[in-house]
Amino acid sequence: MSIFPVILSQTKFIHQDSLKFPLEERALQFGDGIYEVIRIYSGTYYLFDEHIDRLYRSAEAIKIKLLYPKEELKQLLLELLKRNEVTEDGKLYMQVSRGSAPRDHVFPKDVDPNIYAYIGSQPRNLENLKNGVAVITQPDIRWQNCYIKSLNLLPNVMAKQEAYEHGCYEAILHRDGLVTECSSSNVYFVKDGKIYTHPATRNILHGCVRMAIERFARDLHIPFIEEAFMLEEIEEADEIFLSSSTSEVTPIITVDGKQISDGKPGAITRKLQAAYEKDAAILENSISSLV
């Protein structure tokens, strides 16, 4: 499946080859904007309301006033789905910048924000879900407002690249040994039947799948404790896993080359992924059929 050809640019639906970014686009010059990635299963957005709510929270946090009320934007994105005739799995990428204006650090006056959205391919990584992934640890050198889903991702990119160069899937980030999250996902520590993860403060992105996992854990009567853990605790974990819209609930089996527990995906991680698949109405290639 290739990238679908119709994109949303402001209120226009155009072919992707027709899109032209303004020369003085603040997203390009300053990273002055926000974004969302929404997973699509069988032609339906997953956690749609949660993502749209977070987009508006991020916009408010950096003082961008969106042109549309939430319901109008949602209708535009549903129309984008319809125009692309999406019936399979994929993802929506949506970006909002402060707008286009002569380059100046100060916010431009009387300039509307630019909004772009497109739908592309996002196959499920069944191998990772079945067998788990290896990760490394890296210092968290990002800014102090990670709860904003901003376009300023260079520290995340550098951490992810470091993981890639070590043959790993992700990088667990830490501030002076206190684990925050990963470069593009949230991370969880399981011990004695309890799930631990960093509180939803300014220092992490409040993941939409993270919110769903908290709900799944409650339904499964698994304690979900918003309490950060230290790097040195990782080797004592019964399970470690990560979550995001593109990774779902992925087991972590080694950290910095050290095996977690028996080196296999854990029972709680499996239960949460099964709950995710049920919630997202994933009928084919479910984790239960893979293990």
| Burial bucket for residue 283 (CB in 10 Å: 0-12, 13-18, 19+) | exposed
Contact 206, 200 (CB under 8 A): yes
Contact 216, 276 (CB under 8 A): yes
Which of 70, 109, 149, 160 is an active site residue? 149
Q: Which runs of consecutive H residues, i.e. helices, occur in the chain?
A: 26-30, 48-61, 70-83, 126-131, 154-165, 208-219, 267-279
DSSP state at residue 192: T
Question: Residue 290's closest CA among 130, 132, 62?
Answer: 130
Q: Output phi, psi for 125, to 5 deg.
A: -90, 85
Residue written as token pair 């997202």: 280
List 255's β-bridge partners, or say none: 135, 258
Active site residue 20: no
Catalytic positions? 149
